[in-house]
Amino acid sequence: METEYNFSQGKRGAIEPTPPGKTRITIRLDDEILAWFREQVHQAGGGNYQTLINDALLDYIQQRREPLEATLRRVLREELGQMGK
């Protein structure tokens, strides 16, 4: 162990840079949720629980998005319904 360290060239921030398209955030999740995702990684023999959480959120978003055809049909029904009144 050195008696003195030189940090004049040191940089602040994360050791690993955040890849493009990703944002580093702090989020509070229930212990039960983290435990479940960590257990999934353990059962799979490795991986990253954060990636699993990200994938689960992406799946949720894709399921919630209404297809364009369904949106158009809904809007047309609403507009045609207004015309009949």
Q: Tell me the whole-structure pTM to 2 decimals.
A: 0.59
Q: How far apart are CA 76 and CA 68, in angstroms?
A: 12
Q: In the prediction, which pLDDT does 16 show?
A: 79
Annotated domain spans of the chain:
31-83
Along the 85 residues of the chain, how does pLDDT read in single tens digits? 888 999 888 888 767 788 899 998 999 999 999 999 999 999 999 999 999 999 999 988 887 887 888 888 888 999 998 887 6
Burial class (CB in 10 A: 0-12, 13-18, 19+), 29: exposed
Nearest partner of 22 among 62, 50, 60, 48, judged by Cα: 50
Q: Do 49 and 38 form a contact (C-beta atoms < 8 A)? A: yes
SS3 55: helix
Residue 52 sits at the vertex; the CA angle it makes with 63 and 32, to the nearest 5 degrees, is 95
